[in-house]
Structure 1
Amino acid sequence: MRKTATILMLSVASSLLLSCGQAPQQSTPADEERTVTPTTTGSKVVVYQVFTRLFGNKNTTNAPWGTLQQNGVGKFADFTPEALNAIKAMGVSHIWYTGVPHHVLVQDYTAFGISNDDPDVIKGRAGSPYAVKDYYNVNPDLALDPANRLAEFEQLIARTHQHDMKVLIDIVPNHVARAYQSMSTPDGVADFGANDDTSVAYARDNNFYYVPDQAFSVPQWPADYKVLGGEAHPAVDGKFNEVPAKWTGNGSRAAQPAFDDWYETVKINYGVKPDGSFDFTQLPAEYASKDWPAHYAFWQGKTVPDSWLKFRDITQYWLAKGVDGFRYDMAEMVPVEFWSYLNSHIKQTNPDAFLLAEVYQPHLYRDYIRLGKMDYLYDKVEFYDSLKRVMQGKGPTSALVETQQRMADIEHHMLHFLENHDEQRIASPEFAGDARKGMPAMVVSATISTSPTMLYFGQHVGEPAATDAGFGKASRTTIFDYWGEPQHQAWMNDGKFDGAALSAEALALHNFYQTLLSFTASAPALMGNYVELHSSNLANNTAYSEQQLAFARYNNEQRLVIVSNFNVQQSSQFDLHIPATLMTNWQLADGQYPLHDKLNDAAYTLQVTDGVGKVALQLAPLASVILEL
C-alpha cells in the first residue's frame, strides 16, 4: 500500500534520526574496480508474491464492480500440488500470500457469525487487504467453507511446506480497518480500542487517536465516484457511525477525511504524541551495530505502549501456526523502536523468520535495517525506479551501476522486483507496453546483488492489467475487486498449470522466467562478489552503449559474466572487455576458455591476451547472456 501520507508520517520519520542519534549514512567510496565483496552465504532467495483471491479464479466474466457470484474468487484450495509444483519450478523459496488476514468486504457472511461491513468505508467490493478487520482470522472469501477458513489456511501452510517453500503473510501495523472487530480474539486478549480513553486525542496506551466530541463523516465523493459503482445497497447511505471520530490511517486528523486519504482505515498509536515526540524508551544509537538478541534483551523489563504488545501477540499467533515471516506494510510510518521490539521478539521465536518491510525514504533505509532489525526492504526508490527508466528508454544503464555501488553496504537487504501489487504491470502502456522489455531488466534485477528477488504472479506470462475492474484501475492488477487475470488464467489452464493455453510468445516469456529464476536459486556466485564491467567498456568500446549493462559475479565455486541488452529494436555486437585485475583474480593465464550461456544453452569463448579478457558477443534486442566459466 503506497500513497502520500500526511503530518504524522512526516513527524515520525523526521524524529527517527534525532531519537536514535543517527545521521544519514553515506556509502563508502568505490575502489578502481568498483568491486563489492559481500559476506553473505547461502542461496539466493526468490519470493513469489501472489494475490491470493485472484490466483485460482477461473471465472472470465470480469464485470466492473462485479460481485463474487458474478466474477468468481480464488480459494486457498486452488493452491493444489500442481500449482505449488509450478511455482516451485521457478526457483521460488518463499510465497507471499497477499490478502490473507480477514479484511473488510461487502459479501454477507452473517450466517457464519461474521458481522457485515459498511460499503461506505470499503474500497471496492472485495475490499482492500490493507484494511484488516480481524488479525486472528483469515478472509472468508478464500475458504471453501467459511466456517472452516482458518483450518483451510493452516492446510495451505502445510502444503506449501511440503513443497519446500516458506509462507509469508501481510502485517499492517500502521493502521486497521475503520470497522475493526475481531470475532476470533483469543481468550484474555482485548480487542483494538476496547480499553481506550476516547475523551482525549492521545494517551500512550490508547490504540487509536481521536477527534474528541466530533463524529466521523464519510468523505465527499468525487463527481465520478459512486460507492459500489452506483448499485443500490441497503448499507450505502453516506454514513458510518463512529463517535468520536478516529484519525485516519495516513495520519489525517480530520473528522471527515478526504477521498484521497486512507479513509477506510484508522491510524494505530505507538506512543507517538500528536506533536511527533515519543512516549517510550529511546533506542541508543549504538544498537545499530548490535544483533537481534541484544535488542531483545534491551526491551526486557521495559514498559511499552499497548499497541506494541498487541502486534507482538498477533505475530506470535501466526508464527505458532507455521507462518515463516511477514511483509510489513508502510513500515516507515511506525517508529523504528517498535520494529526493534517486534522483530527481536519474532526472531526469539523463529531466528530464521523472513521480515520484509515497505520503506520509501532512502535516508531511513539503514535505520530500519540496523536499528529496526528488518531483514529486507523494498528497493523501490533506488534500484527499481532507475531500472524502470531504463526499460522506458528514459535513463542510462550507468544509473544502475551508480545505485548498486551507492547501496553496497546494504545491498543484501534491498529486495529487488519489477512488479508488485502497488506498481504498474510491465506490459501496460503506462509502464513499458511490452512484457518482453522486462526480460533484460529481470536478468539484471535478479543477478546484480545478493538480495532476494521477488516475482509477482502473472508477471512471468505478461499480464497487462488492461481493464478497469471497478475501484481498481487499469495498469495495476486490482486489489479491491473480484476479478480474473486472463494471461495468468491461460498459464493456470484450468488447474493444470502447464501453460498450454498461452500464446507462443507468452509461453516463451514464462520459460525465460523459469530458466532465469531457477538458475539464480542455485547459483552460488550470486551470493558472492560483484564487479561492474560497464564503465570500462563504455569508455573503451565504441559498440557498447548505455543500452547495455555488463558485470561479473563470482565466488570460490563459480564465475559468471552477465550482459544484458536493453535495446528494443537493434542487435548489439561488440567484444566485451574484462579487466586484467579480474583475470588475475580468477587465475586465468593467456589462452582460450569455454563459456556456457546458462540462459540460452549456447557456447562462447573467453580469450585472455596479455592478461586482459575478451568475449565476442552478439545480443539480439532485449537479449541477455549469463556466461559461466
Structure 2
Amino acid sequence: MARLWGKGRFSSWDLRTLDYLKSLGVDYLWLTGIPRHATGMDFVKGDPGSPYAVSDWTDVNPYLADRPEERMKEFSLLVRRVHRKGMKLVIDYVPNHVARDYRGGIVHHDWCDGDWTDTLKNDWSSPQTFGEMLRILRFWKALGVDGFRCDMVELVPAEAMRRLIAAVKEDYPDTMFIAEVYDRGNYRKYVEEVGFDLLYDKSGFYDRLVSLSRGECSARELSWNWQFLSDLQPRMLNFLENHDEIRIASRQGLGSAGRSYAALGVSLLFNDASFMLYFGQEAGEDASESSDGRTSIFNWCCPRSVEHLNCATHIGKGLSDGESAVLDRYRELLGLAKLPVFASGKCWDLCYCNLSSPGFDADRHFVFLRYDGSQTYLVACNFSDKPASFRVAIPRELSPVCPEPSVQMTIGAWDTAVARLR
C-alpha cells in the first residue's frame, strides 16, 4: 500500500524501509495501488478511490510521486531499489473490470459485477481485450515488475488466463502469477491447468485458523485441510491479514495480536506454503481508526502502528512497548520459517497419535514435526485461553529423525512452542 507508508510516495520506500523488510525475511514486495485508478470523480469510492478501478493501465498514480510529471521515472527508481536489496516487486493486475472512466483498448460492457459501481465489466469475448491485456502485462514487465497478484480470476474465462500466463512466461519465464481464488474445488485447476504459481488459501487455512482462534471450530480441521491440499501445499499463499480481511488484532478480529500466535505458528511453520505479511500486522495494527476492523484502501490514512514502524525504521524509535513485543515475536517466527527445514523440509502431523496423550486436547491443540536431512523440529500450537503442558508421542517410524519416543511441551495460551530435537 504505497500511499499508506511514510509520506505516501514512491520515495517513502527508501533503502532503510527496504532494509527493514529484508530483515523480516521478505522476498517479494506487493504494492497495491500502483496503476493509475479513478480519482476525483463522483462515482469513486472514498477520497482517493479504489486501486481496483484502474483508469489507465500504462500510467501510475500521480499522487505517489514527489514530482508528478516524473512519476514513471520515480516508479522505475523504486523498482531498482527493490532489486538492489535482493527483493522482487509484485503489483496488482485486475483482469475482470476497469474504471468507469477507463482510457485504453480493453473492450468492456456498460455494467458492473455486484456493487462494484465504480467499475465496468471487461468483455473477454473480444480478441482485442486479450491482445490489450497481453500488451499491458508486457509493459509492466519491461519496467522491471517481477509478478502480478491477479484479482478475482474466477470471474474471468480460465482459458483466457491460461493463454495470457503462457504468453507472458514465454518471454519472461520467471514471472510470478498469484491468483485470488476462493472456491477450493478450483485450486488444482488454477495451478495445473491455468498455470498460476501461487493461490490464496483463503477458503482453507485462513478461514479455519480464524474460526479456530475464535473457538468456533476444532483443530482437527487443520489436519483435514492439510490432507485436502496434499501436493498443492507448496503452491498456496497463507496469510492472516490482507486488504479484504479484518485486522487480526482489531476488536472485530481477535482483540489482540497475542491471541493470534498459535495461528501464526501454523501459517508459517506447518507446511511449505508461502506466507503473506500485511503491512503493520507485525506490530499488532488494530485498525482502531475504522468502524469495521479493516484498514481502508479507499481513503487517505496512516495506521498508527505503520506510522510508528516508519519512525522506528528511520530514527530508531517510535514503537510502543506492546508493538515492540509483537514485532519481536513475529521476527522470531518469521526467522524460523526461513530455515530450510521449514521452507522445504518434510512435515508429519502428530495429532492422530496423541489423541489419548494426557493433557492433549485434539480440538484446541495442534502438533507436528518438521524435518530434513540435518534438522528436526517439534512445533505445538495452543488454540486455548489456558496454558498447556503435555508429552507429545512420536511414532516409531520417525525414530531415524527423532529417536525420543516422546517430548514434553509447555505452551502459553494462544501461543506456539518450538523445540529443536536434532
Coarse TM-score class (shorter-chain normalised):
over 0.9
Equivalent in 489, 508, 528 of residue 325 of structure 2: 508
More helix as a share of residues? 2
Partner of 2:407: 615
Alignment of 1:373-522 (within 5 A): 373-468=195-290, 473-493=291-311, 496=314, 498=316, 500-522=317-339
Partner of 2:374: 557
Equivalent in 104, 115, 118 of residue 38 of structure 2: 104
For each residue in 1:185-239, what CA deviation from the matched residue of structure 2 results, as whole angstroms up to 9, or x when unmatched? Answer: xxxxxx235xxxxxxxxxxxxx122xxxxxxxxxxxxxxxxxxxxxxxxxxxxxx
For each residue in 1:449-491, what CA deviation from the matched residue of structure 2 results, as whole angstroms up to 9, or x when unmatched? Answer: 11110000010111111223xxxx4311000001111011112
Equivalent in 181, 194, 199 of residue 372 of structure 1: 194
Question: Are 1:141 and 2:91 matched, yes or no?
Answer: no
- Offset, 1:382: 1.2
Partner of 1:214: none
List runs of 5+ in structure 2 lacking aligned partners: none
8 Å contact 2:233–2:272 — kept in the other structure?
yes
- Could you say what secondary structure the match of 2:271 adopts? coil
For each residue in 1:325-384, what CA deviation from the matched residue of structure 2 results, as whole angstroms up to 9, or x when unmatched? Answer: 000000110011011111111211222211101111112121111111001110001110
Amino acid at match of 2:2: T
8 Å contact 2:409–2:417 — kept in the other structure?
no
Partner of 2:136: 314
Whole-angstrom CA distance in 1 between matches of 2:138 and 2:273: 26
- Could you say what secondary structure the match of 1:456 adopts? coil
Over 3 Å counting, the alpha-carbon distance change for 1:615 and 1:89 in structure 2 is same
- Offset, 1:525: 4.0
Partner of 1:222: none
Question: Are 1:152 and 2:74 matched, yes or no?
Answer: yes
Whole-angstrom CA distance in 1 between matches of 2:15 and 2:336: 22
For each residue in 1:157-212, what CA deviation from the matched residue of structure 2 results, as whole angstroms up to 9, or x when unmatched? Answer: 0000111100000000100101012xxxxxxxxx235xxxxxxxxxxxxx122xxx
Amino acid at match of 1:614: S
Equivalent in 201, 208, 212 of residue 108 of structure 2: 208
Amino acid at match of 1:364: N
- Could you say what secondary structure the match of 1:617 adopts? strand
- Could you say what secondary structure the match of 1:516 adopts? helix
Partner of 1:349: 171
8 Å contact 1:339–1:372 — kept in the other structure?
yes
Question: Are 1:180 and 2:102 matched, yes or no?
Answer: yes
Partner of 2:121: 267
Report the more deviating stretch, 325-334 or 408-417: 408-417
Alignment of 1:49-198 (within 5 A): 51-57=1-7, 74-106=8-40, 118-119=41-42, 121-181=43-103, 191-192=104-105
Aligned residues: 420
- Could you say what secondary structure the match of 2:359 adopts? coil
Whole-angstrom CA distance in 2 between matches of 1:549 and 1:617: 12
Equivalent in 360, 364, 371 of residue 544 of structure 1: 360
- Offset, 1:532: 0.2
Alignment of 1:544-623 (within 5 A): 544-545=360-361, 546-568=363-385, 570-584=386-400, 586=401, 589=403, 608=404, 613-623=405-415
8 Å contact 1:180–1:192 — kept in the other structure?
no
8 Å contact 1:86–1:497 — kept in the other structure?
no
Q: TM-score, normalised by structure 1?
A: 0.65
Amino acid at match of 1:52: A
Amino acid at match of 1:85: D
Over 3 Å counting, the alpha-carbon distance change for 1:553 and 1:494 in structure 2 is closer
Amino acid at match of 1:541: S
Q: CA RMSD in A?
A: 1.5
Report the more deviating stretch, 329-338 or 513-522: 513-522
- Could you say what secondary structure the match of 1:167 adopts? strand
- Could you say what secondary structure the match of 2:265 adopts? helix
Whole-angstrom CA distance in 1 between matches of 2:60 and 2:343: 37
- Could you say what secondary structure the match of 1:514 adopts? helix
Amino acid at match of 2:212: V
For each residue in 1:526-556, what CA deviation from the matched residue of structure 2 results, as whole angstroms up to 9, or x when unmatched? Answer: 312111011221x221301122111111222
Whole-angstrom CA distance in 2 between matches of 1:314 and 1:623: 45
Which runs of 4 or more aligned residues in structure 1 lie more than 4 Å from their structure 2 counterparts after TM superposition? none
- Could you say what secondary structure the match of 2:82 adopts? helix
Partner of 1:247: 111
Over 3 Å counting, the alpha-carbon distance change for 1:264 and 1:504 in structure 2 is same
8 Å contact 2:341–2:370 — kept in the other structure?
no
Structure exhibiting the larger radius of gyration computed from Cα positions: 1
The percent of aligned pairs where both chains have the same amino acid is 34
Alignment of 1:326-345 (within 5 A): 326-345=148-167
Report the more deviating stretch, 375-384 or 342-351: 342-351
Whole-angstrom CA distance in 2 between matches of 1:494 and 1:506: 11
Q: TM-score, normalised by structure 2?
A: 0.96
8 Å contact 1:138–1:149 — kept in the other structure?
yes
Higher relative contact order (CA 8 A, sep 6+): 1
Whole-angstrom CA distance in 1 between matches of 2:311 and 2:83: 24
Equivalent in 507, 527, 531 of residue 348 of structure 2: 531
